[in-house]
Amino acid sequence: MKSAQSVGLPTRENCGQCHFFGGGGDNVKHGDLSSVLYDPDIHTDVHMSKDSANMVCSDCHREESHSWAGSRYLMDAKDTVGLGHPGEERFSASCESCHSDNPHEGDLMAIKLNDHVDKVACQTCHIPEFARGGVATKTYWDWSTAGRHRPRHFAARHTQMRDTPMTKRIVKVCPRFERLWHWTQALLIAVLMFTGLRVSGVHALIPFGSAVMLHTLAALTLLVVWIFATFWLFTTGTWRQFLPKVEGMLATARYYAYGIFKGEEAPYQKQYWRKHNPLQAATYFGLKWFVFPAIWVTGILYLTYNFWDSGSDSTLVLAVVRNIHLLAAYVIFAFVIAHVYLLTTGHGFRNHVRPMVTGYEEIDLTPEQEAYFEANTPDRLKPLEPAQ
């Protein structure tokens, strides 16, 4: 009952809890929205000051279907509705709503100033400075250190990243479930490759019947693991790691085809929020969305052949299913070989494998990223070792 009785129109405190502190701190994001507006003087804000109109945010920022006028989603500066007053049941949030499109009254100078309204925003003259009221704002954003490096020119940005002050920290990049899923999947795929080659007649190291049984059990187990892994990827948001990016693709491909043999530095700097380079992300994307589903579907059709067998036509269908299954299996086989080979390049096999064993890896963090980890997830950072 008390909760229902407390319902009322939004206050500055309601809006300010988020909008005054956007971007990571008081007055950081916009430069004109700060805690000063809880109780501003008339020189800071003539509209919200108690000595003037004493308005609140929602007096001007009206909404329709929760689409707020004057927000980043509706940036119309022109009032197409007509003159009125704040708070009226109309959809507007502009200077014209109250002050009209001829706000200056008087002599020839006023007429000339009114001519400017067609091209010049009111704020240009009437808000000549920001961060007023004593709360400083951020005037420079270095987006190259924002955590996700998605440059227009990949190599040029990488050079800029190397010049950005970074701190090497031991960060937990692979949680326990990801490591368990990875090694379980690796073991099961190895079993499937070994038994699959036996079923195909490539070797005769184990009896055919045993190979079929092991292959079936490993496939069903892997399918269950993939179901759990898919659920984990989407519930944690980790699936975004596998979205391919065109930017940097050619530079990365050139590195693997040529630069890696010349000792060149890799054109991609691993980030906590983006562990895979563009080529890796595209490869994993193709595997997870095309190759693995092909294996699942054809494998299940193989196992259930006796249920849908209906004669000669089924034999042709089975041949198609078999060939697709084999093709997908050999693609995965090739991926495994390339994957193991690439682990031996760069910083070496042990350094590449260690994160999937311990969960931790040494990566470069910007001061902002380091501060974020220390404030929000300190358990993901290993303590700094004392200087030698």
Q: Which residues constitute the domain of residue 19?
A: 10-140
41 and 159 assigned to the same domain: no
Q: Is residue 193 part of a domain?
A: no
243 and 305 assigned to the same domain: yes
57 and 168 assigned to the same domain: no
Q: Is residue 244 part of a domain?
A: yes
> Percent of the chain beyond pLDDT 90?
25
Q: Is residue 30 part of a domain?
A: yes
pLDDT recorded at residue 347: 76
243 and 367 assigned to the same domain: yes
341 and 363 assigned to the same domain: yes
Six token digits for residue 78: 């022109």
Summarize pLDDT for 46-81 with one digit per residue, the tens.
888 888 888 888 777 777 666 666 665 555 545 555
pLDDT-derived band at 323, boundaries 50, 70, 90: very high
158 and 294 assigned to the same domain: yes
166 and 91 assigned to the same domain: no
Say if CB 267 and CB 255 are below 8 A apart: yes
127 and 162 assigned to the same domain: no
54 and 165 assigned to the same domain: no
Q: Which one, of 53, 65, 48, lies nearest residue 13 by Cα?
A: 48
Strand (E) or helix (H) holding 50: none
254 and 376 assigned to the same domain: yes
* Distance, CA of 174 to CA of 85 (rounded, Å): 56
DSSP assigned state of 378: G
Six token digits for residue 59: 């007096």
98 and 164 assigned to the same domain: no
Radius of gyration of the chain (CA): 31
pLDDT-derived band at 139, boundaries 50, 70, 90: confident
Q: Is residue 317 part of a domain?
A: yes
**Structural domain count, the chain:** 2
Helices (H), 117-200: 122-126, 154-163, 176-199
Q: Is residue 232 part of a domain?
A: no
Helices (H), the chain: 2-5, 12-19, 57-60, 96-99, 108-116, 122-126, 154-163, 176-199, 208-236, 249-257, 278-286, 292-303, 305-308, 312-343, 349-353, 355-358, 367-376
pLDDT recorded at residue 111: 83
pLDDT recorded at residue 23: 79
284 and 327 assigned to the same domain: yes
- Mean per-residue pLDDT, 30-55: 86
Rounded to 10 deg, the angle between the 312-343 and 176-199 helix axes is 130
